[in-house]
Amino acid sequence: MSTKQMNRRDFTKLTVAATLGSSVLGVPFACNTTSEEPKKPSLINNLYYRANTFHYNPAHIAADMQWMADHGTNALTMAISEVDFGKAERNIETIVTEAHKRGIKVFFVTSRWAGVFAGAPKMPSIFAAKNPHTWSLKSDGNPYFHSSGPICSIYYPEVFDFFIEHLDKAFKTWDLDGVVWDEPKAYQMDYSAMAKARLQHIPGYETGEKEALITHEGNYCNFISNVNDHIKKEHGDKIINFFAYPYLTDTWIEQASQIKHLDYFGADGRAYPNIERPETYTGKKFILGKGNVGHRYVTKAHDKGLKSMVLIENFKTTPNEYPLLEKHLDTIITMADQFAYYYYPRSCKEPDKAMQLISKHLKKHL
């Protein structure tokens, strides 16, 4: 069967053992040239964002979970949105059950809850729509919007209460093993009424100066710490993961690494160095390379006694990125305590070929 003929269901059944000793796309392996065995991450985490949460097929879920288990994946992260409560409870229960049957831990992302964190894109927050008085505002009084709608301000007690209520409901509804804080939206000054009450005494606040922004970012980290306090107190030994944009400042990374109760700390980005960026990728999120890239989080995690993590953004992968993944994927898989990847992610032009690359390199680290 050719790659062009192979569909997603065929792929989950097809062994890749025959490909392990050869190259993909004609590009040789980036081999380890030392006699030392590469470190295997303690967690290999599959981001299973929005799969089988509207229509769902239990047989497909079982096949996906078996593919993950066969590739050494021992954790899975779902993107649970606000609308999944009461709308997709059976779907999520089936995914959790099938994962646990295979020894796979199940985490979840608070996907676009109140716009405060990232997650699956293009899913506006119902809470934000109903509570516009809590929106984070620009200095001109207009709200901040991203691709999934407004961002609520962490200075409003209603926002904190909303998170606590829905985290409690998630952990009580499903047998979840932990949470993942995905890219907190902390990087712009907040001029909402409650933010002003907390920050207006900080020099440079009105003009968004660096020191005031650092204070705001610290408050964001405190918000997460307080939520984590609640999780540990009410739900026991859940695993708490955190990752953020790789290009943020060293000051931000230092503050974020001090968030309470973190188990894994890291960044997400493309699976190749920024100095090898192809023209087709216009973003600035890289794990490797020079300057402000994700490996700084790995170093910081270990300095703080935390476990490290990296997530490769293998969505929207174009054919000219495949040789770069082939070249650098082994390095990224083994650089942190947790390696995370997306399973059949969105907007790949050749999704089966992209997953075949992931499959090949994961098999090397079983």
Paired residues of 155 in beta bridges: none
The first and second tokens of residue 62, run together, are 């079982």
Q: How many residues does the chain have?
A: 366
Measure the CA–CA gap between 86 and 4, rounded to whole angstroms: 39
Measure the CA–CA gap between 313 and 128, rounded to whole angstroms: 27
Domain boundaries, the chain: 43-241, 245-347
Measure the CA–CA gap between 178 and 176, rounded to whole angstroms: 6
SS3 call for 145 = strand
Of the pLDDT bands very low, low, confident and very high (cuts 50, 70, 90), residue 27 is very low
Q: What is the pLDDT of residue 7?
A: 58
Cα 235 to chain centroid, rounded: 22
Which three-class secondary structure string do you get for 186-252? CCCCCCCHHHHHHHCCCCCCCCCCHHHHHHHHHHHHHHHHHHHHHHHHHHCCCEEEEEECCCCCHHH
Q: Using the 8-state DSSP alphabet, how is residue 54 labeled?
A: S
Q: Are 41 and 338 in contact (CB under 8 A)?
A: yes
Q: Can you tell me which residue has the tokens 């506006």?
A: 124
> Does the pLDDT at position 37 exceed 60?
no
The average pLDDT across 41-68 equals 94
Tens of pLDDT, residues 126-181: 999 999 999 999 999 999 988 788 999 999 999 999 999 999 999 999 999 999 99
Q: What is the pLDDT of residue 38?
A: 59
CA distances from 182 to 55, 109, 149, 268 (A): 25, 7, 16, 9
Q: Are 61 and 98 in contact (CB under 8 A)?
A: yes
Q: Can you tell me which residue has the tokens 């779907």?
A: 91
Tens of pLDDT, residues 248-294: 999 999 999 999 999 999 999 999 999 999 998 999 999 999 999 99
CA atoms within 13 A on the CB side of 194: 13
Number of neighbouring beta carbons within 10 Å of residue 250: 10
Q: Are 293 and 323 in contact (CB under 8 A)?
A: no
Of the pLDDT bands very low, low, confident and very high (cuts 50, 70, 90), residue 24 is very low
Number of neighbouring beta carbons within 10 Å of residue 201: 10
Of the pLDDT bands very low, low, confident and very high (cuts 50, 70, 90), residue 121 is confident
> Does the pLDDT at position 3 exceed 80?
no
Q: What is the pLDDT of residue 9?
A: 52
Measure the CA–CA gap between 357 and 112, rounded to whole angstroms: 30
Q: Are 325 and 357 in contact (CB under 8 A)?
A: yes
CA distances from 124 to 112, 146, 163, 241, 353 (A): 7, 9, 16, 23, 31
Q: What is the pLDDT of residue 15?
A: 38
> Does the pLDDT at position 58 exceed 50?
yes
- Give me the CATH code for the 43-241 domain, please: 3.20.20.80
Q: What is the pLDDT of residue 345?
A: 85
Q: Which phi-psi region, left, alpha or beta, contains residue 323 (left: φ > 0; alpha: ψ -120 to 50)?
A: alpha
> Does the pLDDT at position 26 exceed 90?
no
Which three-class secondary structure string do you get for 91-140? HHHHHHHHHHHCCCEEEEEECCHHHCCCCCCCCCCHHHHHCHHHECECCC
Q: Rounded to the nearest 5 degrees, what angle is found at the Cα of 228, between the Cα atoms of 225 and 234?
A: 145
SS3 call for 320 = helix
Phi, psi for residue 338 in degrees, rounded to 5: -130, 130
Closest CA to 264 of 226, 292, 302, 295: 302
Of the pLDDT bands very low, low, confident and very high (cuts 50, 70, 90), residue 4 is very low
Cα 213 to chain centroid, rounded: 24
